[in-house]
Structure 1
Amino acid sequence: MDIRDLKGKKVAIVGYGVNHASLVLYLLKNKIENLTILDQNESKKELIDKDLKQYFGKYQTILGKNYLNNLSDFKIIFRTPGIPYLLKQIQTAKKAGTIIYSQTKLFFDLCPAKIIAVTGTKGKGTTSHLIYNILKDNLSVKVYLAGNFGKDPFDFIDEIRHEDIVILELSSFQLQDLEKSSHIAVITPITPDHQDRHKSIKEYWQAKLNLIRFQTKRDFAIICRDSNLSKKIKWLTKAQKIFYSSKDNLISGYPKQFIGLHNKQNINGAINVARILHVADAKIIASLMKIKPLEHRLEFVVEKNGKKYYNDSYSTGPDSTIAGINCFNKKIILICGGVDKGFDYIKLVKKIGKKIDTAIIYGQNKNLIVGLMKKYAKKTNLIICENLAEAVKCANDINLNDGLVLFSPASASFDQFKNASERGETFKQLVKNVKT
């Protein structure tokens, strides 16, 4: 789709927020005038008018619980990732002839530069972060980082030159209806996730695999072979395939600031991207040694009262919490819980039974986890709390010299927090306020 294809058409933006504010500004700047913003939240009217104040009067809004009632009135709909592609109202509009599009699809259409896209269940944020920093240090062209992590791509789309490189971290919701693939695609391990939003594991996997489905022989698919799915997907793409693993020793000396085998896995994915773009290993190593780990991912916070505190708030599923637990050989107080996304927690609870001294469980899914612990982790000390503040206080009260407190929720954050970032920041502040 070209921007000219939108001229004179009735265009709807379905869902307004972080993922669509920049897109709306871009469309209005390009004189797409018959534009309507739809959102369930009526209170967003003030935010919308504030964000778009220079274009006031050049757009319409439909807000409230009935915002999806008349989607077929529009010729083109841009859905936010928060609106499932297979939602009944979206599919009804599609059958009526409405074109269903997304910010990600439009960016793939308009971006003049080569795209490196990263997806997966675990490690896609850190892998994107590593790729960006290595390439930024060593290439003469401009390197951009966007998607779920970094800037919104429509904040800088007009600046991008043909020779530049754009790195996108993409979720299953952004990939679900994608019909183009990136020049270089990185698939980190894919495990069951978002079962609260996808109808099946197969649907979730198929969304992720759109990233490589449309590649050509000139493209590259970098696939983590530590995932069982890697064996099934290697025939899906025509691209040149490179497989990587946490077991590979691609360089001499890995950066010590990235702890755990899962981070070695992330580093190896990034190294393979850099090698495709002819960055020498010595330069890759030099860049890696300078890169700081991302916040909320096994982030060391402080040492107080004989215990080290680690913030792993971005662990929103059991597998990433297991990976975090495996990074340490000391006594661990684990704080976990939140919103269940349809996970099977048995594997995590069995790990808790083997490696965790005390488990502090809070959040919406606490009864589910506690019930499993009573069956599979009987020897682990169990404390049940109502909220994170109470959990941190309980952790501080435990006498555990030369041990650590690992906040790795294995759950989504939406029961008590706006997002995982807010949850992590809250944990860090609570820990810093702990009395010594």
Structure 2
Amino acid sequence: MNLEGKRVLVVGSGKSGVAAAELLRKKGITFVLFDGNKDLDVTALIEKNPVFAGAEILLGELAPEDMARIDLVVLSPGVPTDLPMVNELRNRQIPIWGEIELAYHFAKGRIIAITGTNGKTTTTSLVGEIMANYFDDVKVVGNIGIPYTSVAADTTEDTVTVAEISSFQLETTHEYAPEVTAILNITPDHLNRHHTMECYIETKESITKNQTAGDTCVLNYEDEVLRRFGETLQTKVVFFSSKRKLEKGLYLDGEDIFYADGTTDTKVINVNELNILGKHNYENVMAAVGMSVSFGVPMDKIVEVLKRFQAVEHRIEYVTEKRGVKFYNDSKGTNPDAAIQGIRAMNRPTLLIGGGYDKQSEYDEWIESFDGKVKKLVLIGQTKEKIAECAKKHGFEDVILCDTFEEAIDTCYANAVSGDAVLLSPACASWGMFANYEERGRIFKEYVRNLAE
């Protein structure tokens, strides 16, 4: 679609909307901003984001006459694609893109894209560092916090773009075609948005929809959904496994990670040489190696990065030690499966802070994963009663409900003794109490560091 002379509706005035507007302005394309908040302070918005100065801004409701003047819609990822307004735009045959599709329209170079329920940020960061160790111009973008649209205009044919792609972003891709993709795992998440598990799986798998036979998809062999999916793909498929030896792909054998090309099995690294903990992180490492090898990076360049790579912020991140109690920030554990990995990584008795926004998740497997490690479960937020009830159903009685985040931290500290750990791993989204999981993690770290010795 040629956007020259077109009128584009940017929906949402947050980070993604701002980056989309900036890209459109750079390319000389007229845009209209729409935000559903009818009380939005437009003057303050323009002061903060000058890109909106001079643009038409519509608030609250989108009238039929406004829709009639639009040629393309760019939705921010946080805007559900089944809103009545979006359905009406779709019924009018107006194309609906997300910021990934808009960026792809203008971007140049080669692309690697990573999705999955858990592990995306760690794997994307690791792949980004591996690429930067071999290529001169590397951009790391997407759900990791840097909108793809904010760098698309600066890409060249020599650029390698590594993108973390969420299911929300995949809903609005059309021609987006990465050279190498990975789906790390699929477990229930965001069912309040996707409604059914089948829809969620289909959305995740759509990351491969425009790949060709010469492209590569890296998949988790131990995820039954993905193993079956790999058998249907026309692209090259690289599997990784943490449970068995594979004839081709990456696998964990004891404490060693191997790469098998079909004829030779090459030891990549011993897990004790890594700076990240837990089997889930070894899976992330295998996925990163699979993508990097498929992209043409020599193994020695990959291993150099594996040996120095540190855990990403908010993912089982060590914060500090007070009175012999170690504090860990796993704010990125925004669903039960991610939070299970946080528990598994703990090697001492743990006081666990959980709860938050209700994404219609089930918490049974998370509670069962406590496995004697969790001394007390301290709960906050919208889901605290729901989780407490689930815990008691599974025979876990050491539950404390708190009204505030600070009260939860204080409660853990008061009940901890030397040799314990306090872990923030909520198994829930942060919305309602915090802007995002990053803010929740930052507040946790700041508060913990100021606790009295």
Q: What TM-score results when the alignment is normalised by the length of structure 2?
A: 0.90
Would you say the 8 A contact 2:376–2:399 is kept in 1? yes
What residue number does 2:47 align with? 50
Counterpart mapping for 1:12-23 below 5 A? 12-23=9-20
Counterpart mapping for 1:36-435 below 5 A? 36-41=32-37, 42-53=39-50, 56-57=53-54, 59-64=55-60, 66-67=61-62, 72-73=67-68, 74-139=70-135, 141-180=136-175, 181-247=177-243, 248=251, 249-250=257-258, 251-254=268-271, 255-352=273-370, 354-378=372-396, 380-435=397-452
- 1:310, CA displacement in angstroms? 0.3
Q: Partners of 1:93 and 1:223 in 2: how far apart? A: 35
The aligned length equals: 428
Q: Partners of 2:316 and 2:23 in 1: how far apart? A: 36
Structure 2: any 5+ residue segments left out of the alignment?
244-250, 252-256, 259-267
Identify which range, 242-251 or 262-271, moves more after superposition: 242-251
**Residue 10 (str. 1) matches residue 7 (str. 2):** yes
What secondary structure, in the 3-state scheme, does the structure 2 residue paired with 1:229 have? helix
Deviations 1:187-232 (A, max 9, x none): 1111110011112111111111111122111100011123221123
- Percent identity over paired residues: 29
Change (3 A) 1:54 1:280: closer
What secondary structure, in the 3-state scheme, does the structure 1 residue paired with 2:194 have? coil
Q: Partners of 1:71 and 1:207 in 2: how far apart? A: 30
Deviations 1:332-355 (A, max 9, x none): 111111111011111112223643
Identify which range, 368-377 or 172-181, moves more after superposition: 172-181
What secondary structure, in the 3-state scheme, does the structure 2 residue paired with 1:190 have? coil
Would you say the 8 A contact 2:191–2:359 is kept in 1? yes
Q: Partners of 2:348 and 2:64 in 1: how far apart? A: 55
Q: Partners of 1:190 and 1:99 in 2: how far apart? A: 28
Aligned-residue RMSD, C-alpha = 1.8
Q: Partners of 2:141 and 2:51 in 1: how far apart? A: 25
Change (3 A) 1:68 1:291: farther
- 1:138, CA displacement in angstroms? 1.9
The amino acid that maps onto 1:176 is E
Structure 1: any 5+ residue segments left out of the alignment?
none
Q: Partners of 1:262 and 1:71 in 2: how far apart? A: 48
Q: What TM-score results when the alignment is normalised by the length of structure 1?
A: 0.93
The amino acid that maps onto 1:269 is A
Q: Partners of 1:145 and 1:68 in 2: how far apart? A: 38
Change (3 A) 1:213 1:150: same
Deviations 1:239-276 (A, max 9, x none): 10001123421322234320111111111111112212
What residue number does 1:30 align with? 27
Would you say the 8 A contact 1:71–1:93 is kept in 2? no
